[in-house]
Amino acid sequence: MDDFDWAVILRSAGFLGHGLALSALLVAVASLGGLGLGTGLALVRLVAPRGVGAIVAGYVAVLRSVPLILVLFWFYFLLPIATGRPVSALGSALTAFVLFEAAFYCEIVRAGIAGVPQGQRLAAMATGLRGWQALRLVILPQAARAMVPVLLNQVILVFQDTSLVYVVSLRDFLTTANIVATRDGRPLEMYGTVAVTYLVLCLGGTLLIRLRSA
C-alpha cells in the first residue's frame, strides 16, 4: 500500500464524473421506463384474456431466467437489424435495460396488487365502483403505498446492474474507471474508488429506504 496514488483519482475525477453521469442516465431511464412498462404488463396480466396474459407471463419468465449480459448482447445485435437503421450502443443498452427491468417491476407490481386485501375490492364494488374504477381509485393507491420500499430497492439493484454496460463498451462509471486503470496502470486506486462510491450510494440508499419505511 506504499505507493497508493491519490493523484490519479483527482486527475481522472472529471472523466469518472462523466461516467457516473451516464450511469445516472441509465438508472433513471431503466427505472422509470421499466416501472412504466412493468406496471403496464402487470395490468395486462390482470385484465387481459388468458392468451395475451400467457404471452406476458412467458416474456417475464424468460427475461427473469437469463443473464442481463445476454439480454444486452441480444439487443445490441438485434435492434439495428429489426429497425433497419443504425442504433447506437446507448440506444441498444437503454432498450435492453427497460425491457429487462420491466419484467422485474411487473412482478413487484403484481405482488403489490395481490397484497391488497380481497375485502377492499369487494367493498369498492359494493359502493358502486366498477372494475376499472375500483382498480384505479382503491386498489392501486393502496398497492402503491406498500410497494414503495420494494420499488426503491429495485432502483438500487438497477443502479448496480448498469455497471454491466462494460461489456458493450459504454462509458459508464465502471468502464471509465477501467479505462484509466488500464491506461495508467492503477487498478487499486480506480476500482477502489468505484467500489467505495457504489458502497456509499447503495448502502446509503438502502438505509434511507429503511428509515423512511420504519
Partner 1 sequence: MGGLGRVIWVAGVVVAGGVVAAQAQTVDAITKKLRETGSITMGYRETIPPTSFLDESGKPAGYSVDMCHSILEAIRVQMKLPALKITNVPVTLQTREALVANGTVDIECGGTVNTFARSHQVDFTPVTYVASNQFLALKATGIKDLKDLDGKIIAIAGSGSSVKDLDDLIAREKLNVKLLNVDDHAAALIAIESRRADAYFSDNSAFYGLVKQSRHPEALAIVGPEIGYAPQGFMIPKNNPEFLWMVDHQMAKMFESGEAEKIYMKWFGPYGGSVGPKLRAAWETASFPE
Partner 2 sequence: MNYRWDWSVLWREPYGGWLLSGLGWTLAVTLGSFVVALAVGLPMGIAGRLPSRATRAVASVYVGLFRSVPPLVQLFLWYFVIPDLLPDAAGMWVKRDMPYPELTTASVAIGLFAAARVAEQVRAGLLAVEQRLLPVALASGLRPLQAFRLILLPLGLRRVIGPLTGEALVTMKLSSLSLAIGVLELTAQSRHIENETFQGFEAFTAATILYLVIGLGLTAVMGVIARRAR
Q: How far apart are CA 104 and CA 151, in angstroms?
A: 10
Name which of 41 and 189 has its Cβ closer to partner 2.
Answer: 189
Closest distance between partner 1 and the C-beta of residue 80, in Å? 4
**Residue whose cell numbers read 438502502:** 206
Name which of 7 and 148 has its Cβ closer to partner 1.
Answer: 7
Number of residues that bind partner 2 (CB under 8 A): 35
Q: Identify which of 172, 177, 169 has the alpha carbon closest to the alpha carbon of residue 9.
A: 177
Question: Would you state the cell numbers that stand for residue 56, as one nine-digit string?
Answer: 406476458
Q: Applying CB under 8 A, does 81 fall inside the site for partner 2?
A: yes
**Does residue 176 contact residue 15 with C-beta atoms inside 8 Å?**
yes
Q: Who contacts 163 (Cβ-Cβ below 8 Å, separation ≥6)?
A: 23, 172, 173, 174, 198
Which of 70, 122, 126, 148 touches partner 2 (CB under 8 A)? 70
Name which of 109 and 194 has its Cβ closer to partner 2.
Answer: 194
Name which of 59 and 198 has its Cβ closer to partner 1.
Answer: 59
**Does residue 173 contact residue 202 with C-beta atoms inside 8 Å?**
no
Question: Would you state the cell numbers that stand for residue 100, as one nine-digit string?
Answer: 429487462
Cβ burial of 129 (10 Å; 0-12, 13-18, 19+) is: middle
152 binds, among partner 2, partner 1, none (CB under 5 to 8 A by kind): none
54 binds, among partner 1, partner 2, none (CB under 5 to 8 A by kind): partner 1
Name which of 9 and 57 has its Cβ closer to partner 1.
Answer: 57
- State the residues that interact with partner 2 by CB under 8 A: 1, 62, 65-70, 73-74, 77-78, 80-81, 84, 160-161, 163-164, 166-167, 174, 178, 181, 187-188, 191-192, 194-195, 198-199, 202-203, 206
